[in-house]
Structure 1
Amino acid sequence: MDERTRAEVERAEAALVEHYPRLVRLAYLVLPPSMGRHRKVLTAHGLVQRALPWRVPRRPAGALPAQRGPQDAGSGYELMRQRTLELALAYEQRQRPAVLLPTVPFVWGLRLLPRAGGADELALDQALSAVPAPVRAALGLWCLEGLEADAARAVLARAGVQDPEAAERAAGQLDQRTGAAALLGSAEFDPCTVQARPTDLLRRRQRVRATAVLAAVLAAGVAAVVLPGGRPADGPVPTAAGQALDPGRLLRAPDEQWARSSRMDFTAWPPRGRQAGDRALLQRALRVWAAPPAGTRIVAAADTSTRPPAAPPRLLYAGLIDNVRVVVFHDGERLVRYAEPEGTTPTLHFARVDNADLTSAGGLVIGRGNGWLRYLIAPWVADVATRDLLTPDARPHGLHLAPDGVTDRIPLPPADGAACGHWPVAEFRSSPRIDDRRSFLVTDLGDLAPVHLTYLAHPAAGGPGEATGGPALRSWARTACTLRSLRGTGVRSVNNWAYAAQDLPEGGGTATWVCNRADTWRGPGRVMVQFQPPAAGPADPGRVTGREAGTAVCGPFGRHVLSDVHWQAKSGKWYLLAAGSSEVAGIDVTGGARAAADAATLAAPAAQGAPAQVTGRLRDGRPLRALRP
């Protein structure tokens, strides 16, 4: 029990009330990421409230309150910050069992989550999960509290950190990679500004139902013992939830079913891995999925449910991947990957994969490490190679496959904030046994299911084709680095559509207009238009001229697109350029520049940055607005 004078306790209480959001944000940052955001929010609030010292000494009757000096607020806050930091660090280090007890506030039926940030915040959150608590504490003292290095080391040392200097060095390196100093103040890391969502209602109902069933079974058992003539029943009838947790009821496709089926998706995958018959491992994986114990790390792709299995799922894999026991299930809608590292808590990873096909079910991420990943390929994939999208003329390199379908390690694409000097992808080639001899490219964007990359030169060719030919690879070389903005958004496929070619004024060569469309597993897409003038190198990026989210543009039900850009010729003169897809019959420009063309492209002199409204005219007379950045 921490004995303090009444004046110290009152100063600490005043500091807590005044700086409560600041203290909770610090506690939230230091707490283990494996707790999950809802539990971290509640625990951060609970730790800050418990950090207030006990009022042990009592003021004698009639005594006056202690006088407060100008330094009181600062000293009170420093005391609260120190105690908050100690409790948060102890929570991960398990040095004080008392901190593991339930803390107020307690919420039933709701999940409280900080508001979601963008791709940069997501990358920082992932980076924070890979470092220990002292590094996160050092980062918080520097970025959130603004302490100098010496002062931060002193606070860390008083909190029990063994090597404060090493923690500070690691925090500095983390900030350089992720820009943490600018991001930690965002709503993504603010546990005082939260949004409320319901818990998994189906799981909650199942737990209530299971509790009621258990109580009824116990009551029946007691009655059978107490009442005269009572005798046990022949045996309990398993419920649907109980059947879903029985390893003996897991669905297993025959080894050769994929070669005899017209349905090429995850339902045709046979179970693989040396531990596919390990009943104990499968039982643990199913139980953790049904009711994750405290500390389980749960990762879900965008808009993917984490509900427990309602029926026996399909087993796809069970084995050892880089010293981690891994089990992968498929329940008809989702992939569920259970990872069991030695000595640490398990991880569940969920990804939506409904309506998968030969390419989108061609593989899944079976293992991931620092800068690498491994794929588990579909049984209909005969060969795997790797190539770098930024070197389109280089030949692919063959990749070794283990007998169970696991690939060698493949480099990860560059992280957000890092230089985009390469973009590794995997090239899968389907087996001739299914009479579909094709090669297709997939890349990793952070989810279990890799992203299928495609290319479309002209809508008359039908749907998008594979991005393995020369024009497709050259187009993707200039677009690949924009894929970083899609990480963690549940993307299924990304297509490059070269919808227009335009001769530039003053003999500037030919520019290509590319509409890059990302489709998610849940349906909505995101569109980005790029203007790609002649480049000095094959990987020179284009210029983004338009964006739109939640749109059908550049998809099978949105074939019409128009965009514009200001461009400077070698003479120094500026032009307004615009280009539309093949059904655009004319383009009109109003505002800061005025021009018109009865064609799908337009080039008109215009001052640099002159505001202009660009509108297209389709062949059937309908107007078409231009996409803007």
Structure 2
Amino acid sequence: MRRRYADLVRLAYLALDDGTAPPETVLAAARRTVRQAARAGGGSAYPNLRHRLALELLKQPSHHRRPWLRRLFFEPASSTPTPLRKTLQRSSPHERLVYLLSRLEGLTSPEVAAELGEHLMLNAWDIDRTRADVDERTDLDPAAQQAELQAFDPTLVRLRPPPSLPMTARIALVLAAVVLIAAASTSYERWRNAGRPGDPLMVGDDRWNRHQVPSLYDWPTQGELRDDRALLRRAASAWRDDRRDPPLGRVSVMYAGTVDEVTIVVMHDMPGTRDSPMVAQYFERQLSRGVESIRRLGNDSGQLIMLGTTWRYLVPPWLSDLSVALPKASAPTWHPLAVRNGVSDPLHWRWFDPDCQSFVVFRMRHKGSGSITQFASHNPEFATPLIWFRDADSRRDDTGFTGDRAQWTAIHALSCGAGIALADTGDLRIGRLWSGSLPDKGGHASLISIDASVPWGTPGMTALLSDDGRLIAGRGTTNGDYSASTDTIAGAVWWRSRERWHLLATGASGVASLKMVGELGNREARRKGQSTVLLVPGPPARGGYPQPARLPVVQIVVYEPDGDHTVISPS
């Protein structure tokens, strides 16, 4: 095959060489023509290849493309053309091809006519005349002509000799080229990373330190790719193109980096007072790119954000000492999590218990609020509510999980059995209104108040829990909300024993008395110690009657020491 290729290139070169183009240009055109003939199909035998090459040569233009880059470094090694080649150069393209097929390839006149008969009208007499004209203008016999043509090798090339410049000039040229390339590269990087109108906002590393309680808008831009402006523009543009949840206001970047070989950009918008902010996650993988999750936050506080399905969380710098536990357990087992460049290590589990709404519990330290506790999910669209436990003493601040068993029972109940949709709530405040024994051998239980920050002003609710965290009564109501004073909260709930229904109402230390009015008559309970408890037996519960919707209509009036009062219902 190598020999066939060399013969075909020689034939094509001599047929294309008219003496007007540089040798390297003719050589490039000859090689290109041979490749075209080889790709045309029809068999790999040499006669077939030569036949297709002859047809390609008849279609070649009169001028050739000049391989300028090749001429910078290489030049042909062929010498000045011989009289025979000069004679061929002065012939027409068709005459050159006819002559070469006859003398170089050794074909007879009828064979040449058959080779070119598809595109040229010629006969054996025309071929003999062309061959005789060349013979007459050279002093070589046919055998010598064939030997000279077969000895010609147009593929020999050599490196172009270096320019005749002194060594100092050569060094100066090299240094100038290096400086020019470096300057061009630096200029390109500056242009690529220069700020433009509409670019996403970048937040400095120290901004969150200026506030006692930093918010989402103080979250610094973190990650090793935060200076890649082109990436950040692609991410912001992809979010703006989202038809369902485009950003409101400017886009601010929270994180830009590579996590588990995936490029991730996390952003939030700035809607001001018009709406709650949203967080979007943009991904670039080997075969896909785009925004893969958009989550609306209940408030603008800094929250833990799971990065896609990497089982890692994005953590603001004002949170430290992270540890995580599963709420399913009867007692917490805390696993520490390290945070590097704003991203936590992966969780110890690759699953969340669906019985607990796919949430886990984080315990950490906040710069301005001490120890805090937070629910978080693997679903980036779910809320991550903070859990605050109301202190019985209103002069003390609310706190996160402190190790109290009753607190963990409440956490377990909220996520695994209290019937509260954590995915839709804001921050939660949990208060213990009462703890004691239920009648009719109902065992020990606790009545807790649950208040959510979203929507703002939502009435509070109650939950009656067993010591193992089971919800043992339908949810009742309270007279409080997320921002209400701790010591004036009261709650009421219906509870069913084996024998009958019972109404349980209780108030915190700031409640002076509770009064029941309605179909069960009037009953009143005054404060004893730090709480006020009203436990009233209701209708029988044998045979499943009455159903909860048919319970007696009652209301609880909550009196404070100064005479103010509110009204709540057990259901």
Q: TM-score range by the shorter chain?
A: 0.5 to 0.7
Q: In terms of Rg, which structure is larger?
A: 2
Q: Equivalent residue for 2:411?
A: 476
- C-alpha separation in 1, matches of 2:568 and 2:471: 21
- C-alpha separation in 1, matches of 2:211 and 2:315: 17
Q: Equivalent residue for 1:440?
A: 373
- C-alpha separation in 1, matches of 2:256 and 2:482: 40
Q: Equivalent residue for 2:204?
A: 253
- C-alpha separation in 2, matches of 1:510 and 1:539: 11
In the superposition, relative to structure 1, how do residues 260 and 566 fare at CA in structure 2: closer, same or farther (>3 Å)?
closer
- Conserved? CA contact 2:372–2:387, under 8 Å: no
Residue 529 (structure 1) aligned with residue 462 (structure 2): yes
Q: Which has the higher contact order (CA 8 A, sep 6+)?
A: 1
Residue number among 236, 248, 252 corresponding to 1:286 in the alignment: 236
Consecutive unaligned residues in structure 1, runs of 5 or more: 1-241, 301-305
Residue 539 (structure 1) aligned with residue 539 (structure 2): no
In the superposition, relative to structure 1, how do residues 429 and 267 fare at CA in structure 2: closer, same or farther (>3 Å)?
same
Residue number among 308, 325, 341 corresponding to 2:263 in the alignment: 325
**Residue identity opposite 1:578 in structure 2:** A
Residue 346 (structure 1) aligned with residue 284 (structure 2): no
- Conserved? CA contact 1:365–1:450, under 8 Å: no
Q: Equivalent residue for 1:396?
A: 334
1:469 is displaced (CA, Å) by 2.8
Residue 387 (structure 1) aligned with residue 325 (structure 2): yes
- C-alpha separation in 2, matches of 1:451 and 1:354: 8
Residue number among 453, 467, 486 corresponding to 1:519 in the alignment: 453
Residue 607 (structure 1) aligned with residue 539 (structure 2): yes
1:403 is displaced (CA, Å) by 3.9
Q: Equivalent residue for 1:236?
A: none
**Residue identity opposite 2:387 in structure 1:** L
Q: Equivalent residue for 1:501?
A: 435
In the superposition, relative to structure 1, how do residues 318 and 588 fare at CA in structure 2: closer, same or farther (>3 Å)?
same
Q: Write out aligned runs for 1:359-378 (5 A).
A: 360-368=301-309, 373-378=311-316
- Conserved? CA contact 2:458–2:482, under 8 Å: no
- Conserved? CA contact 1:290–1:308, under 8 Å: no
Q: Equivalent residue for 1:90?
A: none
Q: Could you give the per-residue CA deviations for residues 385-442 of structure 1, whole angstroms, max 9, x where no partner exists?
A: 1112233533311124344423313658868xx5349852122234xxx576534333
Residue 576 (structure 1) aligned with residue 503 (structure 2): yes
Q: Equivalent residue for 1:337?
A: 280
1:613 is displaced (CA, Å) by 0.8
1:337 is displaced (CA, Å) by 1.9
- Conserved? CA contact 1:505–1:603, under 8 Å: no
- C-alpha separation in 2, matches of 1:612 and 1:289: 52
- C-alpha separation in 1, matches of 2:380 and 2:399: 24
- C-alpha separation in 2, matches of 1:526 and 1:321: 42
Q: Equivalent residue for 1:9?
A: none
| Corresponding residue SS for 2:231 | helix
1:499 is displaced (CA, Å) by 1.9
Consecutive unaligned residues in structure 2, runs of 5 or more: 1-194, 272-276, 541-545
Q: Equivalent residue for 1:427?
A: 363
- Conserved? CA contact 2:222–2:342, under 8 Å: yes
- C-alpha separation in 2, matches of 1:567 and 1:484: 18
Residue number among 471, 484, 490 corresponding to 1:556 in the alignment: 484
- C-alpha separation in 2, matches of 1:512 and 1:483: 13
In the superposition, relative to structure 1, how do residues 344 and 525 fare at CA in structure 2: closer, same or farther (>3 Å)?
farther
- C-alpha separation in 2, matches of 1:258 and 1:605: 55
In the superposition, relative to structure 1, how do residues 598 and 485 fare at CA in structure 2: closer, same or farther (>3 Å)?
closer
- Conserved? CA contact 1:580–1:601, under 8 Å: yes
Q: Equivalent residue for 2:516?
A: 588
| Corresponding residue SS for 2:339 | coil
In the superposition, relative to structure 1, how do residues 628 and 441 fare at CA in structure 2: closer, same or farther (>3 Å)?
same
Q: Write out aligned runs for 1:142-161 (5 A).
A: none
Q: Write out aligned runs for 1:141-290 (5 A).
A: 245-246=198-199, 250-254=201-205, 256-259=206-209, 261-262=211-212, 264-290=214-240
- C-alpha separation in 2, matches of 1:386 and 1:409: 8
Q: Equivalent residue for 2:173?
A: none
| Corresponding residue SS for 1:281 | helix
1:284 is displaced (CA, Å) by 0.8
In the superposition, relative to structure 1, how do residues 502 and 436 fare at CA in structure 2: closer, same or farther (>3 Å)?
closer
- C-alpha separation in 1, matches of 2:298 and 2:554: 41
- C-alpha separation in 2, matches of 1:500 and 1:463: 20
- Conserved? CA contact 1:367–1:375, under 8 Å: no
**Residue identity opposite 2:474 in structure 1:** V
| Corresponding residue SS for 1:425 | strand
Residue 565 (structure 1) aligned with residue 494 (structure 2): yes
Q: Could you give the per-residue CA deviations for residues 93-138 of structure 1, whole angstroms, max 9, x where no partner exists?
A: xxxxxxxxxxxxxxxxxxxxxxxxxxxxxxxxxxxxxxxxxxxxxx
- C-alpha separation in 1, matches of 2:357 and 2:204: 42
- Conserved? CA contact 2:279–2:297, under 8 Å: no
- Conserved? CA contact 2:239–2:280, under 8 Å: no
- C-alpha separation in 1, matches of 2:517 and 2:382: 45
1:377 is displaced (CA, Å) by 0.7
Q: Equivalent residue for 2:44?
A: none
In the superposition, relative to structure 1, how do residues 540 and 278 fare at CA in structure 2: closer, same or farther (>3 Å)?
same
- Conserved? CA contact 1:500–1:579, under 8 Å: yes
**Residue identity opposite 1:346 in structure 2:** G
| Corresponding residue SS for 1:288 | helix
**Residue identity opposite 2:412 in structure 1:** A
1:498 is displaced (CA, Å) by 0.9
- C-alpha separation in 1, matches of 2:501 and 2:218: 57
1:484 is displaced (CA, Å) by 6.5
**Residue identity opposite 1:588 in structure 2:** M
**Residue identity opposite 1:246 in structure 2:** D
In the superposition, relative to structure 1, how do residues 578 and 413 fare at CA in structure 2: closer, same or farther (>3 Å)?
farther
| Corresponding residue SS for 2:257 | strand
**Residue identity opposite 2:198 in structure 1:** L
In the superposition, relative to structure 1, how do residues 513 and 449 fare at CA in structure 2: closer, same or farther (>3 Å)?
closer
1:530 is displaced (CA, Å) by 0.7
**Residue identity opposite 1:467 in structure 2:** F
1:318 is displaced (CA, Å) by 0.8
**Residue identity opposite 2:307 in structure 1:** I
- Conserved? CA contact 1:562–1:616, under 8 Å: no
| Corresponding residue SS for 1:480 | helix
Task: Give the count of matched residue pairs.
Answer: 353
- C-alpha separation in 2, matches of 1:350 and 1:419: 25
- C-alpha separation in 2, matches of 1:546 and 1:474: 19
- C-alpha separation in 2, matches of 1:553 and 1:421: 24
- C-alpha separation in 1, matches of 2:357 and 2:229: 45
In the superposition, relative to structure 1, how do residues 595 and 618 fare at CA in structure 2: closer, same or farther (>3 Å)?
closer
